[in-house]
Amino acid sequence: MDIYYRGFDSNSPISSGAKHLTACAARLLLAMLRSVQYMDDAAIEAFHKYISVDNIWLLCLMLAGWLLAGVVGGTIGAAVGAILAFLGAQELFDRLNDIYAPLREWALLAYNANNDDDIDKAARQFAPAFATGFLTAIEFVVLHKIFRASAALLSKRFPRPTWIDPVWERTAKERGSRRKSKADESVKTALPQMITTLQTKGAMRVARGGGFPVGAVVVAGAALTVGTVITVAALSGKERSR
């Protein structure tokens, strides 16, 4: 599949229209999946509540059909509209134009993508907008009875590409790796701060004559701080002996 195809053959409007539609759906799908990398945990939870590997292709076909028939228009829009009407999906678009409105800018960005970087730009736009408007539209589409009724016909005419499953799995792994990296980075940042706090408190106790906390310092692994604490303790002792 050429996911960047945006052609049209007037001598073969239905076949070229179908090719245009599936390529558009593929770009929308990739942008949608890649956006997961830029979402917080709450948004991802909502994403997976309504979007799954089983329905994402049909959802993107619906979005692509709406975009081409209702927004892009022209000869390709007319051809795609005819295909969707035949498959029983046109009624859904007629009833959901207002709800789809928040998706318009993002969908056009993904539609006009020419390379991987453009897909990533669409993904970055989708991520923050998902929780502020996109979710309502997607929820309505996925749960709508017309979506379920059209799914069987769409699946037969436009079967799910085999590459979707590995891309979905890779996206989940990359998200998991990114979360682990952030967690590790947080630990690396927090541990020195914690050690510094413990070392400072230990030095203050010694300076007040509370004794030298050898065990705590050794456990913290702070060799440099040991010397600092000893120096503070020695100076404190001299002050008391005067």
Radius of gyration (C-alpha) of the chain in whole angstroms:
29
193-226 residue pLDDT tens: 544 444 544 444 544 554 434 344 334 444 434 4
pLDDT value at position 75?
A: 93
Look up residue 37 and give its DSSP letter: G
Q: Do residues 100 and 128 lie in contact, with contact meaning Cβ atoms separated by under 8 Å?
A: no
Q: In which residue are the tokens 């207002």 written?
A: 98
- Report d(CA 117, CA 3) in Å as an integer: 14
Coil, helix or strand at residue 3: coil
Domain boundaries, the chain: 13-161, 183-241
Average pLDDT over residues 88-115: 80
Burial class (CB within 10 angstroms; exposed 0-12, middle 13-18, buried 19+) of 133: middle
Least confident of 14-23, 82-91, 161-170: 82-91
Least confident of 38-52, 84-98, 157-171: 84-98
Quick check: 12 pLDDT over 50? yes
Average pLDDT over residues 105-112: 94
Count of Cβ atoms closer than 10 Å to residue 216 Cβ: 15
Q: Do residues 147 and 61 lie in contact, with contact meaning Cβ atoms separated by under 8 Å?
A: no
Quick check: 100 pLDDT over 80? no
Structure-block tokens of residue 210: 């509370």
